Amino acid sequence: MGQTADNQSRAAAWSVAPYFLVADVVEAANYYRDKLGFRFDRLWGEPPSFCMVKRGGIMIMLKEVGDRGGVRPNRLADPEDESWDAYVWVDDADALYGEFTAAGVTIARGICDQPYGMRDFDIEDLNGYRLCFGHDIESRGAIE
């Protein structure tokens, strides 16, 4: 017999990896490692043109396009909206905010409690991609 959607979701874990077009993949990979605490095992291509950076169970794919004109953060489509390119659920947004602030990461929006039940903040990477990092307020308790 066929499985229901609920049974299928419990049977297999899914994940997704944002695919960011970047001007310089080596520079981007080093930024994600040195500023955001990600790691990477290798760069693909000669010269390098692709990398997968990983941290805490998430992966972000970086693909070099050679110039800033090919880089397309979501917020460029609607600059007034401040759209994210990725939302990352974390265990402790406050601790991560402190870590990123100490590392000199560009904070696009400070940490705060949101009406949608998350405590989160936005950063902007060296290519203009905006990532939001947050945790569920209910599961951690509100922190102010």
Phi/psi of residue 112, each to 5°? -165, 160
Residue 27 belongs to domain spanning: 15-66
User: What is the per-residue pLDDT for 8?
Assistant: 56
CA distances from 46 to 25, 39, 50, 64, 117 (A): 12, 20, 10, 12, 45
Among all chains, which residue has been given the structure tokens 């401040």?
82
If asked whether residues 82 and 143 sit together in one domain, one would say: yes
Residues 79 and 136 in one domain: yes
The total domain count for the chain is 2
Q: Return the amino acid letter for 96.
A: L
pLDDT for res 2: 54
> Tell me, what's the pLDDT at 11?
63
Q: What is the CATH number of the domain that holds 139?
A: 3.30.720.110
Q: How far apart are CA 101 and CA 81, in angstroms?
A: 24
Considering the domain boundaries, does residue 7 fall inside one?
no
Tokens, residue 13 = 């874990």
pLDDT of residue 139: 80
Q: Is residue 6 part of a domain?
A: no
pLDDT averaged per 10 residues in sequence order, the chain, 144 residues = 56 85 96 98 96 96 84 79 90 97 97 96 95 91 48
pLDDT tens figures, 47-74: 999 999 999 999 999 999 977 677 887 8
Please tell me the predicted confidence (pLDDT) of residue 13.
80
Same-domain status, 58 and 121: no
Structure tokens, 129: 């991609």
